[in-house]
């Protein structure tokens, strides 16, 4: 007859486990040191130092440090999320601003073309108008010089004529006085 046995939680023996514990502890310390070196992590190196210390309950300290690291990671995660959100908002603003600036550039280019047409138009452009005005001014100055010369000539003739008339008036006055 077969006897059915069920699993039991009965402690059958006791071992100090000191050698096993030390070797596991040593493995953990070695692993933490390797990872600290590979990742250049001062936090992991600090954790390895705490674990290697010969205090009464090194795992209590280690667990405390792990909790601190987890809190630090959560806090850094929140800060990173805040920075990420800020960067995303800034990118949106930057894209909007860029779009506005590109629209302004387009309108400024159109306005510039219009102003160039106003400036360089062959018939009614400002440059053509300026050239025409300079030609008219030069012609006006030449006409003015000619008119001034003509007036001076006419004035000389007028002065001669007046002098002749005054002489004639003087002669007429003498002749009248002789006749009287």
pLDDT 10s digits, 86-119: 999 999 999 999 999 999 999 999 999 988 888 8
Q: Which of 48, 56, 51 is nearest to 32 (CA)?
A: 48
Total residues belonging to the chain: 180
User: What DSSP letter does each residue of 61-84 carry, written as one string?
Assistant: HHHHHHHHHHHHHHHHHHHHHHHH
Q: pLDDT for 113-163, tens place per residue? A: 988 888 888 888 888 888 899 999 999 999 999 999 999 999 999 999 999
High-pLDDT (> 70) share of the chain, %: 84
Integer Cα distance of 9 and 62 in angstroms: 30
**Whether the predicted pLDDT of 17 surpasses 60:** no
Instruction: State how far the Cα of 66 lies from the Cα of 32, in Å rounded to an integer.
Output: 12
What is the SS3 assignment for 129-151? HHHHHHHHHHHHHHHHHHHHHHH
Task: Write down the pLDDT at residue 21.
Answer: 53
pLDDT surpasses 70 at 56? no
Query: Do residues 69 and 43 make contact, with C-beta atoms less than 8 angstroms apart?
Result: yes
**Residue 71 burial (CB count, 10 A):** 10
| 162 vs 81: CA distance, rounded Å | 107
């Amino acid at each position: 007859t077969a006897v059915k046995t069920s699993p039991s939680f009965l402690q059958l023996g006791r071992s100090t486990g000191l050698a096993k514990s030390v070797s596991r502890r040593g493995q953990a310390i070695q692993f933490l040191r390797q990872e600290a070196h590979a990742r250049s992590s001062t936090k992991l190196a600090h954790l390895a130092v705490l674990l290697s210390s010969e205090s009464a309950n090194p795992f209590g300290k280690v667990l405390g440090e792990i909790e601190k690291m987890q809190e630090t990671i959560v806090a850094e995660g929140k800060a990173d999320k805040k920075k990420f959100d800020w960067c995303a908002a800034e990118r949106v603003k930057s894209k909007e601003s860029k779009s506005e600036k590109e629209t302004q550039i387009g309108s400024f280019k159109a306005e510039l073309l219009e102003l160039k047409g106003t400036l360089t138009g062959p018939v009614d452009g400002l440059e053509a108008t300026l050239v025409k005005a300079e030609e008219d001014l030069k012609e006006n100055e030449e006409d003015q010089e000619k008119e001034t010369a003509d007036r001076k000539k006419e004035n000389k003739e007028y002065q001669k004529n007046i002098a002749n008339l005054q002489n004639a008036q003087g002669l007429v006055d003498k002749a009248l006085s002789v006749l009287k």
